[in-house]
Chain A
Amino acid sequence: MSAGVNGATLVRPALAGRVGALEEFNASACMNCGVCTAVCPMGIEVLPRRLFRYVLLGMEDQVLEQIESIYSCLLCKMCEVNCPAGVHIAENVRSLRHHINRTVFGL
């Protein structure tokens, strides 16, 4: 669980490092503007800004609650070409899939 004693969240920065082991996980550039969510063809609300924040904060349980959203992403880069912060959204989502493949699906 990621919830701390006062309901605060325990931050485990190591998760971002594990997810981005093969590729640069540059989600920290995200300024939370919401353009990605607004233009997503799949209407996936959690991706990518909230999801990336979970990763950066090490909130793995919350990340794993979003497995269907993570694999529903089309990797179409509509969000990425509209992102004012230049976040590599598609590659970040792929990195998350790689992480889940290893840690959850045992691939």
Chain B
Amino acid sequence: MSLPTGEVIGILADNLRIRGSVLPLSKRKVTRWARGLNLPHGGRTVLYTGMMYQLIPYIEGLVKAEKRLGDSPLAELTWLGRKINRLVNISAFMARPSAKLRAVYNEVPVNVALLLKEAGVEFGYLYKDDLYSGALAHDLGADEVVADHARKVYGVLRKRGVRRIITIDPHTTNMLRSVYPKLIPGFDIEIRSYLEVLAEREPMLRTSLTGELVIHDPCVFARYEGIVHEPRRLLTATGLTLKEPEKSGRMTYCCGGPVESLYPEKAEANARRRVEQLQEAVRGSDQRSDREACEIVTMCPMCFVNLAAAAPDGVALNDISHYLRRAYVS
């Protein structure tokens, strides 16, 4: 059973309003990935994670806690939980991912930073000012809270002198590039995904890769931001063979992730359907097999976490940056 919709949205919106993120994380947890990379502090061009990859293992923990609560009599007390959460950050206590899981997600921004460096891109990192974009609250229609938050984020970016942002995940890209300009008159920072930046630079291949991958396009890259060709160009240039599912590119099929915070069971069902479609790209729809091994490449943390949870044994998933780093970083 799901928790009451209004109370869950209320908790997420309260967190964004009071603590700057739908699921507040300490600055140490947000910036841990950058340790040892010696990235300059700030600058006109910055790599911006929007906390997304770092947040996902915590959101996953929170969703698991939600499921347990939803099946217990405590579900009726969610309203009380929301009141307490305004005073004490209880959502942080509910979501405690393992160090191993955190490391999986922290690896992605490391990969991206190394790829950009190798491609000769000059950029810095904002560290404590690498703020959440408000993506989930925007999806849920918490518009006033998101508008306030967007103005705060923009104020910080202006104060730090940022003119160009390189994003990693689709949701932060969409918020900063397509939503913020509607909320903030005069928003004048250039936003580009690292996939666009890399594809434009045509990085030198360091190590050829072999193998076959099934590509899953995130809806937000493919249909909101028109990013379809860049990941394909970068991946095929490595030597990898890309298999396209029937629903691919601009007609991609959603992983189910966007409804996970409210209706985890629906998200799971959608993810299972998508994994089957991706498996079919390898075996063909006429050759039924319950256990078809395949390797799926994703480029969104929400897609990754949802599809991974639905993938049976033998189906492996990796973020696109995993392959690009192996191929383009010496």
CB < 8 Å neighbour of B270 from A22, A71, A74: A74
In contact, A105 and B270 (Cβ under 8 angstroms): no
Alpha-carbon distance A67/B8, docked complex (angstroms): 14
Number of residue pairs A-B, CB distance < 8 angstroms: 78
In contact, A81 and B250 (Cβ under 8 angstroms): yes
Alpha-carbon distance A72/B143, docked complex (angstroms): 18
In contact, B143 and A41 (Cβ under 8 angstroms): no
Interfacial chain A residues near B187, Cβ < 8 Å: none
- The smallest beta-carbon distance between B213 and chain A, in angstroms, is 22
Alpha-carbon distance A100/B141, docked complex (angstroms): 9
Interfacial chain B residues near A71, Cβ < 8 Å: 5, 140, 259, 262-263
Alpha-carbon distance A22/B142, docked complex (angstroms): 12
Please encode chain B, from 121 to 142, with 1 for each CB lying within 8 Å of some chain A CB and 0 for all others: 0000000000000000011111
> Which residues of chain B from 1 to 37 have a CB within 8 Å of any chain A CB?
5-6, 9-10, 13
Task: State whether A107 and B223 are in contact (beta carbons under 8 Å apart), knowing that A42-B270, A72-B263, A76-B258 are contacts in the complex.
Answer: no
- The smallest beta-carbon distance between A73 and chain B, in angstroms, is 8
Q: Does A50 contact B (CB under 8 A)?
A: no
Alpha-carbon distance A78/B247, docked complex (angstroms): 10
CB < 8 Å neighbour of B9 from A22, A74, A75, A107: A107
In contact, B253 and A107 (Cβ under 8 angstroms): no
- Chain A contact residues, majority secondary structure: helix
Interfacial chain B residues near A53, Cβ < 8 Å: none
Interfacial chain B residues near A80, Cβ < 8 Å: 223
In contact, B6 and A76 (Cβ under 8 angstroms): no
Q: Does B283 contact A (CB under 8 A)?
A: no
Alpha-carbon distance A39/B223, docked complex (angstroms): 15
Alpha-carbon distance A98/B263, docked complex (angstroms): 18
CB < 8 Å neighbour of A77 from B141, B143, B219, B273: B219
Q: List 19 A-B contacts (CB under 8 A).
A: A41-B253, A41-B254, A68-B263, A71-B263, A74-B256, A74-B270, A75-B258, A76-B254, A76-B258, A78-B251, A81-B223, A81-B250, A95-B141, A96-B141, A98-B142, A101-B9, A101-B141, A105-B6, A107-B9
5 closest Cβ pairs, A-B complex: A97-B141, A105-B6, A76-B254, A98-B141, A76-B219
